[in-house]
Amino acid sequence: MSFALDASAAVALHFLEERARFEAMEERLASGEEAFTAPNFFQEVMEALRGAIRDGRTTSALASAWLAVLDAYNIHPLSIHPCAGSATWIIAEQLNMSADDAAYIAVAKSRGVELFSRDAIIVRRAGRVGVTVKT
């Protein structure tokens, strides 16, 4: 079995007040289950953690430790090339959303799996293309 996840779900695991909603996802990751994601996933995770450091919500040491845990999971970014006519482009246009967000939906749809996300736009719109989102 496998699933898809976006950066917001992964970052939520770093914060005690946000992690409860995604503990089942983390258990699946920790057990070695395969997860798929968009090509920009790791950069988005790092940027969110950098922002949290700037905001004083975490420290560099804690963020680095969490990134090491994340690296241990079986997470596979999927390519979206070619761009023209790709599912990401079509979903972005159809749902009027950023290509970054559409890529997560496209990954879940292409694999026929559920998507873990806390991103409000993804949560609200993914169902319109048949993707189930776990929040």
Res 74: pLDDT: 98
For the chain, which domains are there? Answer: 2-134 (3.40.50.1010)
Band (pLDDT 50/70/90 cuts) for residue 99 is: very high
Place of tokens 């290509």: 99
DSSP string of 41-107, one letter each residue: HHHHHHHHHHHHHHTTSS-HHHHHHHHHHHHHS-EEE----S-TT-HHHHHHHHHT--HHHHHHHHH
Planar angle of CA 17, 31, 39, nearest 5 degrees: 75
Is the CB of residue 56 less than 8 Å from the CB of residue 77? Answer: no
Residue 35 is given by DSSP the state E
Q: Could you identify the residue written with the tokens 């976006």? A: 6
Mean pLDDT score, 109-129: 97
Give residue 82's pLDDT: 76
Rg (CA), the chain: 14
State the pLDDT at residue 123. 98
pLDDT over 90 percentage in the chain: 93
pLDDT digits (tens, 9 = 90+) for 7-26: 999 999 999 999 999 999 99
